[in-house]
Chain A
Amino acid sequence: MIEVLGVHKSFGSLEVLRGVSLNVAAGEVVVVLGPSGSGKSTLLRTINHLEKVDRGFITIDGALIGYQRRGGKLHELKEREILKQRKDIGFVFQNFNLFPHLTALENIAEVADPVQARHFLERVGLVDKADAYPRQLSGGQQQRVAIARALATQPKVVLFDEPTSALDPELVGEVLDVLRDLARSGTTMVVVTHEIGFAREVADRIVFMDDGVIVEEGTPDEVLDHPVHERTRAFLSKVL
């Protein structure tokens, strides 16, 4: 479903991604772990073209993201085309990024009709908060609305960029519950997170990144309990 091939990305002289390749099958849940600054978030942001790549390419369901192949060249797509492609790629931000001047329902209704919007709100268990503004909601509730909004464009894949990192500890559980439900319902998901317990329970595959490359990947059992690489072991010893 998602194919990332040989992606390089630099910010100025700092090379954040140094040749990353990743395949995610339809319905698969991939959790990306790694220390901060390892390039996890940047990888996620290149998948929906919030960041342009310097080299390599990304496809979703066979469609090249952000570019069009014509002749022997990759032509950058017009913004309008890229915006259209993004409807296939849900994105959930660390800081929710709900629109503060719109109610929970209106946030979702920006990209879906009101009846559907209510349905998506129901799916994250917040239909009674439809008319609340983001400021009136707890962090956990805000993130659940943000997830409903990401689902409202009916994406083929959903990307989560540290969805629980901005939350108070007691609010993490309700957001992870929603992610669990989504995973069970067969949604194709890539989740960047520091929640190792969640990764072990829900991930079909765990990818460990460090210093702009994928160091190792495998089932939760392989990566978390029998890591091959020294860097993975060092990271896990700090977070477990």
Chain B
Amino acid sequence: MTSSGTLTLVSTKDDDLSSLPVVPARHPWRWVGVAFVLVLAAQFVHGLVTNPAWDWPTFARYFTAQSILTAVGTTIVLTVLGTVLGFALGIVVAVLRMSKSPFLSAVGWTYIWAFRSIPLIVQLLFWFNISYLYQRLSLGIPFGPEFVSFETIALISPMGAAVLGLALHQAAYAAEIVRSGVISVDRGQLEAAAALGIPRFRQFRRIVLPQAMRSILPNAANEVISLFKGTSVVSVMAIGELFYQVQVIYGRNARVVALLMVATVWYIILTTLLSIGQHYVERYFARGDRR
């Protein structure tokens, strides 16, 4: 009652509010929240520095050790090959999935269904043990004569099996990401391209893909980063990537925490680089969005 009375008073007495200063609303609880988080963060950092169990001298000794650097290199190679082959195959699968032919579309769907259903680690172990299933691989006419034949175990090394498994797994997810990007492009864009008589492949490459990239990129970056850390799964195949290597070392010297931190910090550094790269690539594809 009092406040509405005051309001009436103001508006009748003095109609011109434009000269009054504006006082922004205060949010004291936000400051309480900030203080709370800062205290927690300070405690955590304090613990990192003062708790000897983190064992920073061991961390420093191994962080740039030759064996670790080699392992980081292997992890990067696995990530790059998995990404490049995975997305190349993924684009093919996405095109199949979007085909007007029901058969080809079903082939694409089945691929995605199968490889999303099988856990990566199970699939990797299958490839690793493929030579139990098929001792020889050969090229020739289906059901007819063979031209060349290989020992499976010689053709598919553990590293080869790992790349194959990661790429096939990645392709299923990449296909759905590419498809989501393509269907996010406005139908009118395809109609305009068709009305101008632009050839089909050029429509896809020049008109659809650059626009699809805008919604493909954040998801694709997620996938690359997730694959990058997912390469640690191939440690089950005794491949010397980062996670396998630190396991080997702490198996020997029992400095588990310090060596896990070595791996963690490397994963963080490389993920940070990927995130920075993502920022610039996204900015490039957003160029038509500038005002």
CB–CB B288/A93 < 8 A: no
- Cβ–Cβ < 8 Å partners of B191 in chain A: 50, 93, 97
- Cβ–Cβ < 8 Å partners of B206 in chain A: 110
Which of B129-137, B192-200, B266-274 lies at the interface?
B192-200
What are 14 of the A-B contact pairs (CB < 8 Å)? A48-B195, A83-B199, A85-B197, A86-B194, A86-B195, A93-B191, A93-B195, A99-B192, A100-B289, A101-B287, A101-B288, A111-B198, A135-B289, A150-B195
Which among A91, A110, A135 is the interface contact of B198 at CB below 8 angstroms?
A110
Number of interface residues of A (CB under 8 A): 28
CB–CB B288/A149 < 8 A: no
Interface residues of A in 87-138 (CB under 8 A from B): 87, 89, 91, 93, 95, 97-102, 110-111, 133-136
CB–CB B290/A136 < 8 A: yes
CB–CB B288/A133 < 8 A: yes
Name the residue of chain A whose CB is nearest to the CB of B290.
A133
In the assembled complex, the Cα of A210 lies from the Cα of B235 at a distance in Å of 71
What is the distance, in angstroms, from A49's C-beta to the closest C-beta of chain B? 9
- Cβ–Cβ < 8 Å partners of A136 in chain B: 290-291
In the assembled complex, the Cα of A154 lies from the Cα of B71 at a distance in Å of 60
What is the distance, in angstroms, from A78's C-beta to the closest C-beta of chain B? 10
CB–CB B285/A50 < 8 A: no
CB–CB B200/A79 < 8 A: yes
Known: A86-B195, A97-B188, A97-B189. 20 other contacts (CB 8 A): A50-B195, A83-B197, A83-B198, A83-B199, A87-B197, A93-B188, A95-B188, A97-B191, A97-B192, A100-B289, A101-B210, A101-B285, A110-B196, A110-B207, A111-B197, A111-B198, A133-B287, A134-B288, A150-B196, A153-B196
Is B211 located at the chain interface by the 8 A CB criterion?
Answer: yes
0/1 string, B155-199, CB within 8 A of A gives 1:
000000000000000000000000000000010110111111111
With A95-B188, A99-B207 in contact, do A135 and B288 touch (Cβ < 8 Å)?
Answer: yes
- Cβ–Cβ < 8 Å partners of A70 in chain B: none
With A95-B188, A99-B189, A101-B211 in contact, do A135 and B195 touch (Cβ < 8 Å)?
Answer: no
- Cβ–Cβ < 8 Å partners of B195 in chain A: 48, 50, 86, 89, 91, 93, 150
Interface residues of B in 189-222 (CB under 8 A from A): 189, 191-200, 206-207, 210-211
Dominant secondary structure at the B interface? helix
What bracket does the count of chain B residues touching chain A fall in? 20 to 34
B193, B194, B207, B285: residue with the most chain A Cβ atoms closer than 10 Å: B194
A84, A95, A110, A136: residue with the most chain B Cβ atoms closer than 10 Å: A110
In the assembled complex, the Cα of A153 lies from the Cα of B197 at a distance in Å of 9
Give the top 8 A-B pairs by smallest Cβ distance, nearest first: A97-B192, A86-B197, A91-B195, A101-B288, A87-B197, A97-B188, A100-B288, A83-B197
Is A80 located at the chain interface by the 8 A CB criterion?
Answer: yes
Interface residues of B in 78-118 (CB under 8 A from A): none
0/1 string, A23-65, CB within 8 A of B gives 1:
0000000000000000000000000101000000000000000
Name the residue of chain A whose CB is nearest to the CB of B210.
A101
- Cβ–Cβ < 8 Å partners of B199 in chain A: 80, 83
In the assembled complex, the Cα of A104 lies from the Cα of B112 at a distance in Å of 39
